[in-house]
Amino acid sequence: MLLVSDSALVARLARALQEVLHSGEPVEQIAQLRRQALRVAHGSTDVEDGLGDADAGVDQPDHRDAFHARHDRESGGDPPATPAKPRLHLPFRRDPHFVERVGLTEQIARRLSAPSGRAALVGLGGVGKSQLAIEHCYRYHDVHADRWVLWIYASSATRFAQSVREIASLGKIRGRDDVNADIYQLLRAWLLDSENGHWLVVLDNADDIDYLVDRSESGRLIDCIPTCPHGAMIVTSRNRRAARRLVEEHDTIDVDRMDEADAMTLVARKLRRITDTAGHRQLVGALEYMPLAITQAAAFLQQSRRKYTIERYMEDLERLDASEGALLDRDHGDLRRDPDASNSIILTWQISFEHIRRTRRSAADLLSLMCLCDRNSVPELLISPQREGESEDAGFEGDLSVLLEFSFIIESSDDSAFEMHRLVQLATRKWSLSRGEMGMHVDRLLVSLDQTMPWVEHAKVSVCEMLFPHARSAMELTAHVSSSLKEWRDVMDKAARYASYKGSGILLHQAIEMGERCWEAKKRQLGEEHRETLVSMGQLARYYDRLGDSRKAAEMGERCWEARKRQLGEEHPHTLVSMSNLAGKAAEMEERCWEAKKRQLGEEHRETLVSMGHLAGYYDRLGDSRKAAEMGERCWEVSKRQRGEDHPHTMIYKNNIARYQNQSTREDLKTRADSNRSVNSMRRDPNGH
């Protein structure tokens, strides 16, 4: 068993093995060594592959009382025995090739040194905004190791919610596991409490932020990051208008292309040699001094140094820019219209990508698969070809190493996931689409997601949480699905169930969105009354119920019940499940209606009496005969006073009472008999044998 110090040593050794890639050894062998060392250092990273259960295709009944369900759900648990210690929570390692851009780093430090400091780094994609934020975080942690440094992905509502939940777990925030709790309010309260320590939050990729700043019934999501004396925040954004909605105008910092001196320093560090030549100056100029383009070009030149000179690379840039095969030509209008699609970045990407396709096609296919995922954190679990019963694929390890070396992807600090720049993702998708390969890669992703994502009822929630953003990404790929329609439906179903199980607010709305997409797809592909279509309809009714839309839930539940009666018969177990769920939802709505009528019309108004009669019937269907009889007696008494004892409605209420009471008596007798049998059994054998 490794000691902690030994583990850290092996991890450092594993990272150092990347340097050996230039030694001429086979890529696969070195990559395998690196991964093996990491597994020794961190233990097995295998995740149990939950493939669901026999009942996963059935909408399970909610066995809790429909009228008390909101009061007996899972609580947040007891407070932790010891508070969480402040820590550095960044998804990336420190960049050893970081170039000090003196004016920018000083501005960031100055704005964040003040109490409640905030700074927004604004600029084109590829100019190094996130790298500046990462470097500042590490420097901050070097000085303040006893403070929290937290990273939040803000590219989408899904990623934002996942980051908030991760922080809640790191901080051991009390109530974080309560399914009814507002996780954003919990985070806000925790950050406001100075007892939890000073903190620095990075809000990365805050480009499309309507979901953050639009006001809902519970307020604005961005308010979960409060302004307080012991907290600070960095925002990175391509959108100046969005940045101004998050920080004051004077706190925005423009991040532009590098100047020539910084660009030359960057290319020298990436190439690991002195590069102050006219050729290198021409290169960084041709690359528009864009850090991402320089990084991609340097990675290519480093990997191809035996075959490529600076002059040849410049010739290829010019040739590709003028050719019909360039991604930025008129046939790829979407890419050209993107304001961040710098010509230099796309061209350097294309030179590297075409080289990889020629020399290692499997690595290019892997990037084409990864670009379909949520780019912020692509888990190795999802993209690895390894499945149960297969041996470890050395080729996959080599493919990853190639993509890392060509700077197409970045490895997370814990070696379990990868990230790519937005423009790398965009260019790779456009390439696949233009070559007619998109459908093939979409099918691969869906098969992998379906195999990897478990049904939430029988899996660690953390696995579903990790894969949920990628299911959301797959939801938008339906136009390119060819042979994996079933896998797409199953992924939507699994993701919707997870969101309903875990969520409130945004997640519940996403559960309904994905549940509806799944239901609509099944109606088109299988038919409206196919068994699986009815399962999705029943699940959708439950999602609406969890959201609090009882009317919609009852409407969906009734349609499901009627269809199952026709298809399966009135006494089939699935039909009874639908009937039970429907009765519970209807009774909940009727209770609300009854309370409102009592307030508005009075307790003995005829309309109020109608709701009381309906409630008695619902209680009886739910198996609560005692409560049905009590409500029935109240109806009978009111009807006697209002209409007289001999009125037909009064007689109906009286007959119903007798039926409810007889049912209740039978239930009591059965319970007593069961109890007596148990007592007699114990008397015969006190030890229970």
The pLDDT, as a whole number, for residue 457 is 67
pLDDT in tens, 171-190: 999 998 887 789 999 999 99
Which of 192, 203, 204, 195 is CA-nearest to residue 231? 192
pTM for the predicted model, two decimal places = 0.70
Q: What is the CATH number of domain 88-254?
A: 3.40.50.300
Mean pLDDT of the chain: 81
In this prediction, residue 74 carries a pLDDT of 36
Q: Is the dihedral of CA 109, 157, 462, 421 positive or negative?
A: negative
Whether residue 299 contacts residue 267, with contact meaning beta carbons closer than 8 Å, is answered with no
Local confidence band at 30 (pLDDT 50, 70, 90 cut-offs): very low
Comparing 38-47, 297-306, 329-338, which segment has the lowest mean pLDDT?
A: 38-47
Per-residue pLDDT band at 511 (split at 50, 70, 90): very high
CA geometry: angle 582, 586, 589, nearest 5 deg: 145
**Among the ranges given (254-268, 409-423, 479-493, 541-555), the one the predictor scored with the smallest mean pLDDT:** 541-555
pLDDT at residue 275, rounded to an integer: 65
Closest CA to 414 of 384, 379, 382: 379
- Reported as half-sphere exposure (CB side, CA atoms, 13 A), residue 126 has a value of 29
215-219, 282-286, 307-311, 620-624: range with highest mean pLDDT = 282-286
**Mean pLDDT score, 305-323:** 83
Phi, psi of 390, rounded to the nearest 5 degrees: -105, 150
Burial class (CB in 10 A: 0-12, 13-18, 19+), 336: middle
Please tell me the predicted confidence (pLDDT) of residue 322.
76
Q: What is the mean pLDDT of residues 513-532?
A: 93
Q: DSSP labels for 402-447?
A: HHHHTTS-EEBTTSSEEE--HHHHHHHHHHHHHTT-HHHHHHHHHH
**Phi, psi (deg, nearest 5) at residue 105:** -60, -35
Q: Is the model's pLDDT at 386 over the cut of 80? A: no
pLDDT value for 409: 95
Question: Amino acid identity of 453?
Answer: M
Residue 460's pLDDT band (boundaries 50, 70, 90)?
confident
Interval 108-167: pLDDT, tens: 999 999 999 999 999 999 999 999 999 999 999 999 999 999 999 999 999 999 999 999
Task: Output the pLDDT for position 583.
Answer: 65
Residue 18: closest CA among 40, 41, 42, 38:
38
* Tens of pLDDT, residues 637-670: 999 998 898 888 888 888 888 888 887 665 554 5
Tell me the residue type at 421.
H
Band of residue 41 on the pLDDT scale cut at 50, 70, 90: very low
pLDDT at 21 over 90: no
pLDDT in tens, 575-611: 777 776 766 666 776 787 788 888 888 888 888 888 8
Segment 288-315 mean pLDDT: 89
- Per-residue pLDDT band for 331 (boundaries 50, 70, 90) equals very low
Q: What is the CA radius of gyration of the chain?
A: 31
Per residue in 77-118, pLDDT (tens digit) is 444 457 899 999 999 999 999 999 988 999 999 999 999 999
For β-strands 231-237 and 118-122, DSSP reports them as parallel
Asked if 298 contacts 328 with a C-beta cutoff of 8 angstroms, the reply is no
Please compute the mean of the pLDDT values over residues 441-456 and round it to a whole number.
94
Phi and psi at residue 208, in whole multiples of 5°? -110, 100
Task: Decide if pLDDT at 65 tops 50.
Answer: no
Rounded to 5 degrees, φ, ψ at 235 are: -115, 135
pLDDT of 19 higher than 80: no
On whether the CB atoms of residues 107 and 101 are closer than 8 A, the answer is no
